[in-house]
Structure 1
Amino acid sequence: MISQSLTLTWRSLVPLKNSPGQLLAMLIQPVFMIVIFVYLFGGAAGGDRAEAVQYMLPGVLVQVALMATIGTGMNLATDIGNGVFDRFRTMPIARMAPLAGRILADLCTMTVTLAMAVLVGYLVGFRVTTSPLEALAGLGLVLLFTMALSWASAWIGVIAKSVTAMQGISTAVLLPLTFGSSAFIPATDLPGWLTAWMSVNPVSHLAAALRGFTVGGLDAADVWITLGWTAALLAVFVPLALRAYNRRVR
């Protein structure tokens, strides 16, 4: 099953070499996000732009990664609509391989997008004040969480009637999670009811963990809560995605 998943991962990555527009969008997206949040809304996170960059850049990295998971479901919905998975049904491969291959391919592209975001962050003044290993651990945690979230995106992509429907559902779920978190602004600056929501929002804990890994002040509770949410997402959505896929291609 592992070799089959890796083969289908490569199948998903190969078309990128013939899609320069898709590659360009993947690289430019973090640039726009950083410009918008750091330069336009940066004053909300600190007294000056330097403080805003240090606070908000980890949140931007998290949002870029989470929004990229929408692509998993969209690509699966497109493949199902084009009949690609009907051909997989006739092949002697594990039923999990097409889904795992798609998610692994998107994890590879997400790594490139995060690397681009980090590079742009350095250009606008962000600096890692911890060790390189801690910073890599923080980015690894983001990739781990988004990999788990990609299974939820895969499930939506399989059950959605169209690519447009899938994109709409995913966006409606992710926007409250990302913008209703402390990724971009401290929860103490907001009304009590919104602060309460932020305290239970997994994106708040993921952003706080990445901020701790990169600029210091790490709270181990944020890491464990993020790992707990990761395990819960996998436990719920891997079986759901596989069940929906089996029904869809039966």
Structure 2
Amino acid sequence: MTTALSQSLTLAWRSLIPLRNSPGQFAGMLLQPVFMIVIFVYLFGGSGGDRSGAVAYMLPGVLVQVALMSTITTGMNLATDIGNGVFDRFRTMPIARSAPLAGRVMADLLTLVITVAMSLLVGYAVGFRVTTSPFAALAGIGLVLFLSMALSWGSAWLGLVAKSVTSMQGLATAVLLPLTFGSSAFVPATDMPGWLTWWMGVNPVSHLAGSLRGLLGGGLRVSDVWITLGWTAALFALFAPLALRAYNRRVR
């Protein structure tokens, strides 16, 4: 167990090394939250005149969207590694079979932490302030990371079963866009038509954004947290076994 974890961490570090040699990719990872926050919070959010209120409401939603969309890279990187024959080389090495897959997910989790931290820094620059306790704020960030990691396993599964990187990216985007934009992350559900209000109510992204908003700014609805945890557990239970099964088939 310890050996497998050590091997996974080593391969996670191996997955991060290319960022050092690709400053453009690293800069894009840092600039993505900047663009999203400027567009959704600083530009669109201030159109009604209440910029501070828009920042307080929309920034948690933007942070959630940036984190969830970042999970697409897990499947893209796996599909790229498979296409390049990297996993064929891993298969000949005396390492745990699950180490390359777990290492990839760990590496993307670390880059996700960097993206979330960058989002908070930019949010602070445009006027967002955490008004709750440090424990509550860390709990909110933890919820975002947990659900994102669960979705990373779904992204990994898509990357392992997709025919190409392009098809994997298209499938993942087709799933995540309705989840993020069809949620109450940016606009309250009460402002939407009836059918869309229903969809926002069952959408896990709405509950995640609501949980983060409450844990960072107050007014938390505990039901949002429990629903988010339930979705996280369900996604882990569904996609982790699927990804492991697809991975074992590819490296057999």
TM bucket, shorter chain: over 0.9
1:3 to 6, 9, 30: 6
Question: Mean alpha-carbon deviation: is it higher for 33-42 or for 21-30?
Answer: 33-42
Correspondence 1:58 to 2:66: no
Q: Note the 1:69-148 alignment, pairs <5 A.
A: 69-148=71-150
Deviations 1:148-173, CA, capped at 9 Å, x for gaps: 10000000000010000000000000
Question: For residue 19 of structure 1, what is the amino acid of its counterpart?
Answer: S
1:246 matched residue in structure 2: 248
Give the whole-Å Cα distance in 1 for the aligned partners of 2:128 and 2:192.
25
- Report the TM-score when normalising by structure 1: 0.97
Deviations 1:114-170, CA, capped at 9 Å, x for gaps: 111100101101011111221111001100110010000000000010000000000
Deviating beyond 3 angstroms after TM superposition, the runs of 4 or more aligned structure 1 residues are none
Q: CA deviation at 1:95?
A: 2.0
Correspondence 1:24 to 2:60: no
> Structure 2 stretches of 5 or more lacking a match?
none
Deviations 1:198-219, CA, capped at 9 Å, x for gaps: 0000000000000000000111
Contact 1:95 1:242 in 2 (8 A): no
Give the percent of matched residue pairs that are identical in Structure 1 and Structure 2: 78
- Report the TM-score when normalising by structure 2: 0.96
Contact 1:107 1:147 in 2 (8 A): yes
1:230 to 229, 232, 236: 232
Q: Residue 239 of structure 1: SS of its match in structure 2? A: helix
Q: CA deviation at 1:43?
A: 4.7
> Structure 1 stretches of 5 or more lacking a match?
none
Give the whole-Å Cα distance in 2 for the aligned partners of 1:215 and 1:125.
13
RMSD: 1.1
Q: Residue 95 of structure 1: SS of its match in structure 2? A: coil
Correspondence 1:200 to 2:197: no
